[in-house]
Amino acid sequence: MHYALGLAKPVYPKWERDYKDPRHYNSPPLQEMPLYKEQTCYVFNERSSVLEGVRQALWLTKARLTAGLPPQLLSLAQDPANQIPDQDERVQDVIRHARFWDTTERRPRKHKYCYTLLNNLLHLCGVVQSRHPALGKRMLAENYTLCATWERGEDLFQVRGRNAVLLNSMAPLPALAGKQEVQSTTDHVLETFYPISPAIDLQKIHAYKRENYTGFKDDYPYPHAHTLYFLETGEVIPRLHPPQLRAKMIMFAYGNALARADKLYGPQPQSILDHPITVQAVGTNGRQFEFVIFQLNTTDLRDDQGVKNQVWLDENNLLYDYAKVRPLIRKKKVKVPAGLSGYHPETFSKFLALYLHGAVEDCIIHD
């Protein structure tokens, strides 16, 4: 039974371990897995980079897009009663802390100053909690797992994986669109991008479980998703460009809303929800901010008819133009001075408006 030159190699019997070793695990064939199904499931995960960006996300979620944030929401931050004392100066100090002061190196890395900037902005927004006690009934969560399953046409889709930092609330967000506006979405025609498949760039799997879960137990005291905060630092491959980041924000906001609707209304698709579910999302790369509000009006996405969901998108909001440790000099002229330059206060006003949404009674919409 040993190898000899010119002879065939001997065939040895396969050795089977009598103990379980996770380092030498051989998975069974796909067809023999317990969760194997013939129907293909298309999965949108946290690093999915869809080709058509927002257009593709709108088709997958059966949603109508509205450019800009609702005016009644923006009025929250414009009200002097909701503003922070010395607001602009304190926001600029937050930016300087993230970009210049929070490091012992020459300059902080992008993933570090993005995370520091977001945490400090949220901490600054919490200053108004004394005027609005409802802000104290919230909780931040990280590294939770989401799964939402739905049918779109003849295909099955899922949004799952670990997504952004989530701000949970004891009370749900009020709907931004009244019943009449929700009914008016029936006439909206969804945009198509034929011949490109709506499932392009999505992961295809056959071993899956059809389920919906928010990542939290049923007795969790903060069951309602309020705002998702996405950080895109460009250090994780593949890098998501702004159109793909906006699509990710829409998809995960929809996934959180759909998983919550499954708890409230059951797994059967509902043509129209009695109480729409609203989820917000904020995305940033440390300088530019994207704002998304998703209102789930229906869970019946099998065809393009009937009531549509709604998306408000406000994109390309710069919080500041430059934050240079050293001045940028070209041809012996200072093009960009050192320090913070080009601060845009309206971007933080929108950030604050989304944070205050649900805690101020004046923003509730009535027909």
pLDDT digits (tens, 9 = 90+) for 213-270: 999 999 999 999 999 999 998 888 888 999 999 999 999 999 999 999 999 999 999 9
Domain presence at residue 277: yes
Question: For position 366, what pLDDT does the model report?
Answer: 43
Domain presence at residue 134: yes
The share of the chain scoring above pLDDT 70, in percent, equals: 97
Domain presence at residue 296: yes
pLDDT digits (tens, 9 = 90+) for 126-142: 999 999 999 999 999 99
Domain presence at residue 1: no
Say whether pLDDT at 10 is over 80.
no
Domain presence at residue 31: yes
With beta carbons less than 8 A apart as the criterion, state whether 148 and 258 touch. Answer: yes
Say whether pLDDT at 22 is over 80.
yes
β-pairing, 339-341 with 224-231? unpaired
Question: For position 298, what pLDDT does the model report?
Answer: 96
| Distance of alpha carbon 282 from alpha carbon 230, whole angstroms | 6
| Distance of alpha carbon 338 from alpha carbon 301, whole angstroms | 52
Helix, strand, or coil (residue 145):
strand
With beta carbons less than 8 A apart as the criterion, state whether 154 and 198 touch. Answer: no
List, in sequence order, every residue forming a beta bridge with 283; answer none if it has no partner. Answer: 230, 290
Range of the domain at 266: 27-363
- pLDDT band at 300; cut points 50, 70, 90: very high
With beta carbons less than 8 A apart as the criterion, state whether 261 and 239 touch. Answer: no
Out of 5-19, 275-289, 328-342, which region has the weakest mean confidence (pLDDT)? 5-19
Question: For position 3, what pLDDT does the model report?
Answer: 67
Say whether pLDDT at 365 is over 60.
no
- pLDDT band at 166; cut points 50, 70, 90: very high
Closest CA to 254 of 325, 157, 342, 137: 157
| Distance of alpha carbon 205 from alpha carbon 312, whole angstroms | 31
Question: For position 1, what pLDDT does the model report?
Answer: 57
Say whether pLDDT at 364 is over 80.
no
- Residues in CB range of 268: below 8 A, 6 or more apart: none
pLDDT digits (tens, 9 = 90+) for 237-247: 888 999 999 99
Domain presence at residue 61: yes
Domain presence at residue 299: yes
- Across the range 87-98, mean pLDDT stands at 96
Say whether pLDDT at 52 is over 90.
yes
| Distance of alpha carbon 300 from alpha carbon 208, whole angstroms | 21
pLDDT digits (tens, 9 = 90+) for 178-213: 999 999 999 999 998 889 999 999 999 999 999 999
- pLDDT band at 361; cut points 50, 70, 90: low
pLDDT digits (tens, 9 = 90+) for 95-106: 999 999 998 888
Domain presence at residue 133: yes
Q: Structurally, how many domains does the chain consist of?
A: 1
**Stated pTM of the model:** 0.92
